[in-house]
C-alpha cells in the first residue's frame, strides 16, 4: 500500500468537495453532540439514583408529644409492611447531629436553630423505592405521626427533567444522524462520480478494490473524525454549563453530579461512532456506485 499516494488522492478529493465535506463535518458534529449529551444525561440520572436509592427513602416525623406506645405501634406497623426493608429510629439528639452536619456550611442557620425544635423520626429504607406511596399512606394517619416525607417524590421531578432532556437529545441526535448518513451517501456518490475517470483507469490497470475505495472512505471518515472531535469539545461545554452551572445551581447538594471522568469516558465512543457511521455508509455507497 502506498499511503502517500492514497493520502494525496484523499486531499484532492477534500478540495474538490469542500462544501459537502464541511456540511458532513457539521452534521456529524451535531448528531454526535446529541448522542453524547443523551449519554451524559443518562449517567447523571444514574448517579442521582444510585446516590438516593442507597439511602433512606421515607422519613416519618413524630409529633412533639408522642407517647412510647404510639412509637412502638408506628414501628411495628412499619416493620409489618412487606415493602419495607429496614427501619431506623432517629432521636432528637441524632437529628441535631445530622442537622449540624448537613448545614455546616450555613453556620448562621445552625446557630439560630433550637435543638429541641427538631422532631424525632423513623427513617425507612424500602425494598423498592418506587413503592413509597403505599408505605406512606399506611402510617401517615396513625396517632403520634406528624408528617411523612417521601424525598423520592422531589427527586421524581429531577428524574423527569433529566429523562425528558435525554429523550429530546436522542430524538435530535437520531434526526441529525439520519441527515448525516444521507449527506455522506450523497457526498460519496458525488465524489465517485466526479472521479469516475480516475477510478475507471484504476480498474482497467488492475488496481485492487482497497486502492480504489480507500481515498473515498478515508476522506469521509476524516471528516467524521473532525466532527467527533468537535462533539467531544461540546461534551466539556455541556458538563461545564448544563451540569455544573445549570443543575448544580438549581438543585444544589441534594444530587450527586457526574464528574469529568464521565466526560472523558464518552469521547472514545463518540469518535468511534462517527468514524464507524461514516466508514460503513461510505463503504455501502461505494459497493453500489463504484462497481468493479
Residues contributing to the site for other proteins (CB under 8 A): 1-2, 5, 197-198, 200-209, 211-212, 292
State the nearest-atom distance from the C-beta of 291 to other proteins, in Å.
10
Going by C-alpha positions, the residue among 32, 246, 42, 29 that lies closest to residue 164 is 42
Per DSSP bridges, beta strands 58-62 and 121-126 are antiparallel
CB of 199 to other proteins, least distance (A): 9
Q: How far is the CB of 207 from other proteins (least distance, A)?
A: 4
Nearer to other proteins, 86 or 208 (CB): 208
> Residue 255: which of 136, 187, 162 has the closest Cα?
162
Residue 258 DSSP symbol: -
CB of 181 to other proteins, least distance (A): 27
Provide, rounded to whole angstroms, the least separation between the CB of residue 211 and other proteins.
5
> 2 or 111, CB closer to other proteins?
2
Grid cell digits, residue 259: 464528574
Q: Please, which residue, 5 or 236, has the CB nearer to other proteins?
A: 5
Residues 6 or more apart whose Cβ sits within 8 Å of residue 8: none
In this structure, are residues 90 and 101 in contact, taking their beta carbons and an 8 Å threshold? no
- Give 127's DSSP letter: S
Of the two residues 65 and 204, which places its CB atom closer to other proteins in the complex? Answer: 204
Query: Is the CB of 3 or the CB of 88 nearer to other proteins?
Result: 3
Q: Which residues contact 209 (CB under 8 A, 6 or more apart)?
A: 292
Amino acid at each position: 500500500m502506498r499511503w502517500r499516494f492514497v493520502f494525496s488522492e484523499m486531499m484532492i478529493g477534500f478540495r474538490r468537495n469542500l462544501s459537502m465535506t464541511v456540511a458532513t463535518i457539521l452534521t456529524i458534529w451535531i448528531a454526535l453532540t446529541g448522542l453524547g449529551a443523551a449519554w451524559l444525561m443518562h449517567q447523571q440520572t444514574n448517579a442521582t439514583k444510585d446516590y438516593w436509592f442507597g439511602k433512606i427513602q421515607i422519613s416519618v416525623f413524630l409529633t412533639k408529644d408522642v407517647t412510647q406506645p404510639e412509637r412502638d405501634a408506628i414501628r411495628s406497623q412499619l416493620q409489618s409492611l412487606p415493602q419495607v426493608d429496614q427501619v431506623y429510629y432517629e432521636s432528637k439528639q441524632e437529628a441535631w447531629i445530622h442537622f449540624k452536619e448537613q448545614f455546616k456550611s450555613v453556620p448562621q442557620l445552625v446557630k439560630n436553630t433550637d435543638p429541641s425544635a427538631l422532631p424525632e423520626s423513623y427513617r425507612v429504607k424500602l425494598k423498592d423505592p418506587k413503592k413509597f406511596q403505599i408505605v406512606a399512606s399506611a402510617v401517615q394517619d396513625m396517632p403520634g405521626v406528624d408528617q411523612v416525607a417521601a424525598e423520592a417524590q422531589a427527586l421524581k421531578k429531577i428524574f423527569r427533567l433529566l429523562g425528558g432532556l435525554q429523550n429530546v437529545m436522542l430524538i435530535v441526535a437520531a434526526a441529525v444522524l439520519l441527515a448525516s448518513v444521507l449527506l455522506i451517501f450523497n457526498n460519496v456518490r458525488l465524489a465517485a462520480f466526479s472521479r469516475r475517470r480516475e477510478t475507471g483507469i484504476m480498474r482497467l490497470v488492475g488496481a485492487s478494490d482497497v486502492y480504489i475505495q480507500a481515498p473515498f472512505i478515508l476522506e469521509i471518515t476524516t471528516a467524521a473524525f473532525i466532527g467527533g472531535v468537535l462533539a467531544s469539545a461540546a461534551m466539556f461545554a455541556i458538563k461545564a454549563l448544563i451540569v455544573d452551572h445549570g443543575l448544580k445551581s438549581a438543585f444544589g447538594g441534594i444530587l450527586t453530579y457526574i464528574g469529568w471522568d464521565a466526560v472523558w469516558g464518552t469521547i472514545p465512543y463518540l469518535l468511534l461512532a462517527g468514524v464507524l457511521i461514516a466508514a460503513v455508509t461510505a463503504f455501502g455507497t461505494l459497493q453500489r456506485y463504484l462497481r468493479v
